[in-house]
């Protein structure tokens, strides 16, 4: 697990966007991206749009799979994650919307929708880079604490804490849907690269448990310790409770240029 610590969320998000753009270039434009929603990736998506506008990367051959969607929300609902992705990234780049996959929250057979979603990922050749955030309780996607570490895309019930965290777009936590469709931890772990973003002091405890704590279903993100290519991108506040943060900084700062993914694109 690589841990990269930046002064603030702006610098961290700029670096994350450069990493993603480099992955698209590495795949000659044909990258399969796993995408996340919420507050954390907003600046990264903003930076990706800037990189596209500067003509340094194209999304026209990119395929995208989102982590999750609320059960019972249509994609046309402004509170849906489909609407979020369109507003925050898809409308700002040249991506083909027919290649942008998000679980169907209105599916009449949610279990069958989950099986089909897994098959779509397999048909696309698997995910090259999976973008992730982390909840204060250590969840990734909507894999709440106690989720199976080998789980696949499925229906999950949200905890009250998660519903409170997502209440802003619904007016109250009571209005947040209680169920979601989410990629499982096993699905996430099959991505060839995982990139997790965490910003702010309220994420520091979860980050410390994920990076330096025990591998446990009580902290679902800790499964990433087992991933062969996982990069954790933090700001100073989110990194504040890491016991070995000085070591992580030293290792990252001493990378040769050919290993660095945070340098400006040519």
Chain-centroid distance, C-alpha 106: 23
144 counts as catalytic:
yes
User: Active site residue: 139, 190, 227, 262, which one?
Assistant: 139
137 counts as catalytic:
yes
Locate 3 and state its tokens.
């841990």
CA distance 14 to 204: 20
User: Active site residue: 144, 190, 235, 236, which one?
Assistant: 144
Phi, psi of 196 (to 5 degrees): -110, 130
Q: Which residues contact 195 (CB under 8 A, 6 or more apart)?
A: 16, 19, 20, 129, 130, 131, 132, 230, 231, 233
235 counts as catalytic:
no
257 counts as catalytic:
no
CA distance 141 to 155: 12
User: Active site residue: 9, 69, 137, 262, which one?
Assistant: 137
User: Active site residue: 9, 47, 68, 190, which one?
Assistant: 68
Q: Catalytic residue numbers?
A: 68, 137, 139, 144
């Amino acid at each position: 697990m690589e841990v990269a610590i930046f002064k603030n969320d702006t610098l961290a998000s700029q670096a994350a966007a450069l990493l993603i753009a480099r992955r698209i270039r590495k795949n000659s434009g044909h990258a399969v991206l796993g995408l996340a929603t919420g507050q954390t990736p907003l600046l990264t998506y903003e930076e990706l749009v800037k990189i596209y506008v500067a003509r340094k990367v194209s999304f026209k051959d990119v395929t995208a799979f989102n982590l999750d969607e609320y059960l019972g929300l249509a994609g046309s609902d402004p509170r849906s994650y489909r609407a979020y992705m369109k507003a925050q990234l898809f409308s700002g780049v040249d991506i083909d919307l027919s290649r942008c996959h998000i679980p169907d929250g209105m599916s009449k057979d949610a279990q069958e929708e989950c099986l089909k979603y897994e098959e779509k990922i397999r048909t696309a050749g698997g995910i090259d880079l999976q973008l992730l955030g982390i909840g204060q309780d250590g969840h990734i996607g909507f894999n709440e604490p106690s989720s199976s570490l080998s789980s696949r895309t499925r229906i999950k019930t949200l905890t009250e804490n998660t519903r409170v965290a997502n209440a802003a777009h619904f007016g109250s936590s009571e209005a947040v849907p209680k169920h979601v469709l989410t990629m499982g931890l096993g699905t996430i772990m099959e991505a060839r690269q995982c990139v997790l973003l965490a910003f702010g002091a309220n994420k520091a405890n979860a980050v410390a448990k994920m990076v330096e704590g025990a591998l446990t279903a009580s902290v679902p993100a800790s499964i990433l310790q087992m991933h062969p290519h996982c990069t954790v991108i933090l700001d100073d506040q989110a990194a504040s409770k890491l016991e070995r943060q000085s070591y992580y900084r030293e290792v990252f700062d001493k990378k040769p240029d050919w290993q660095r993914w945070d340098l400006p694109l040519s």
